[in-house]
Structures are given as structure tokens and as C-alpha cells.
Copies of this chain bind each other. A is one copy, B any other.
């Protein structure tokens, strides 16, 4: 695996971490069609846990099979594949060495009675399955937020000690408004906290121009922070992530049309974001369409990489 100058520069950001972590970050950033460019495209498949199997896979039934996602990620030339324990295990031998994997170690589900996630896998699981990283979701502003932070603190410490990278999904929800969940002030705050908690890769949602917290709103207006376009908001979130010294990726959200997806990718690219992590928009499309779409997104990121 060739480590480009671009990748070396990214690895230099992670000062406090051991070589094992940097090696795994290098694996993820150097794999696939975007390998070495500093841009990343990741396939996450935790929708089955979150929404149930039929809502996730019935639109494209081959996706019921865990192997389907491994194959798609490899063939599309993605950087990594992220999923819960059972999904990663089912394919870990067959696809060993073909693509870096991220074990999603906590998960929510739509049958649950509270806004939390269960820890469903361990760092040891990630190691025995050959993963490059663990993934963990926090819900800033939820009642369980402090507890989640303490969980990822312990898991991240253990993961780093074993050379695994840490990906934090930082999704505000709970005590804020529905609009606030993707407000630019809240998203930047969520990304900043993920960085403070020691995340190597930060996953947030593309922010809107809405401002949730009154105290923050005053500052955005007084300091004239530019948040008019998505690219500007992306740039602001990247700045909030240690002035661009963390890998920040944006999720795709609910299924949408291709034009919307490509526009979003261009804005992420123009704002200096590191890439996308696209689940439903990938695996709910027929395989050929999904591959074509991913190829187009890769081209967008290659444009300025």
C-alpha cells in the first residue's frame, strides 16, 4: 500500500495516537478509487438495525445478504464498509483483506422505548474480525448523552491501545427542536465535541442554515459567520473540527434523487469536507444503478482532490 504525501499529511494531524492507529487510518484513506486523495467514500449498513430488515432491504432484495454489501463496496472501489457485529462477521472471512471495515459497536432500533443505543459489540470483536476501526453514535442533547460519551471514552481508549481507529457518528437529538438536529450551530458543536472526545473520523449530517441555540445565534450574527450556502456551512463544520485537522464525512440521509446527491457531494467537496458516507441511497438502488451513482460521486471528489 502506497502512502501518498496527502495521506502522510493527514496522518500527521493525529499527534497523540500510536502507529497502529495511523496504520489503520492510512488503510482507510489509501483504499479504493479515492485512495491517496484525502477524500473518502464509505458504505454504512446499519439500517436493518435502525429501521428493520423489510424497510431496509425489501426495495432491493439481494441486499438481505450480508455478502452483497461487501461485494458492492469492493467493486465500487470505496474506502471502507461499516456495519454492526452480525453483518461484519458474515463476510469477514470471505472478504478478508479486500476492504477496510468499521465495526459499528452501538445501535438503535425503531422498536425501542427510549432515545439511546445499545452497545452491541466490543473492541475485541473488532480485532478478531480484522476491522480497521470502531464506529459509535452519540446523541448530544439526549438524556443519555453523558452516558454515551463515557461509553465511547472507554471504548476509544481501548481501541486506540490496540491500534484501531475511532469513528464517531455525532447526531444531536433529544432536547432540541427537530430543525435543530441539523442546525449549523448544533452540527458544528456536535463535530467539535466528537473531536474533543478523540474521534479520528467524524460523521455528521449536512447542516442547514437554521440556528438553534439563542446564545450561539448572537455570535453567528455578530461575527458574521458565513452560512448561506451548504459549502460555507460545510467549511464552518470543518473549521470547528480542529481547523480542518480531522477527517469529517457527511451522511446521505433518506433516499433522494441523483441530482440531489451529486449537488450535496459537490458542496461537501467545495467546503473542504473529506467525503460522504452513503447507506440507503446505495443499497436500496439496484446494484448497477448504485455502482453508477457511486462512480459519479467518486468523480466529483476526484475533481478537486
Contact = CB atoms under 8 A, between A and B. Distances in A.
A176 interface: yes
Interface in A16-61: 16-17, 48-49, 51-55, 58-59, 61
A210 interface: no
B15 A64 contact: no
A128 B216 contact: no
A296 interface: no
Interface in A65-94: 65-66, 84-94
B114 A240 contact: no
A186 interface: yes
A270 B7 CA distance: 54
B143 A114 contact: yes
Given A107-B196, A120-B149, A129 B16 contact: yes
A146 B111 contact: no
A259 interface: no
A242 B92 CA distance: 14
A48 B242 CA distance: 10
A89 B146 contact: no
A112 B149 CA distance: 11
A188 B225 CA distance: 41
A93 B54 contact: no
A153 interface: yes
Contacts of A199: 86
A219 interface: yes
Interface residues of A, number: 87
Contacts of A251: none
Interface string A116-127: 111111101100
A134 interface: no
Contacts of A48: 192, 196
A253 to B, nearest CB: 16
Contacts of A117: 146
Given A53-B192, A225-B54, A242-B86, A16 B111 contact: no
Given A58-B223, A84-B196, A196-B87, A52 B15 contact: no
Given A141-B111, A157-B125, A240-B53, A58 B192 contact: no
Contacts of A175: 111, 113
Interface string A235-272: 01001101101000000000000000000000000000
Interface of A: 13-17, 48-49, 51-55, 58-59, 61, 64-66, 84-94, 107, 109-114, 116-122, 124-125, 128-129, 140-143, 145-147, 149-150, 153-154, 157, 172, 174-176, 185-186, 188-189, 192-193, 195-199, 213, 215-216, 219-220, 223, 225, 236, 239-240, 242-243, 245
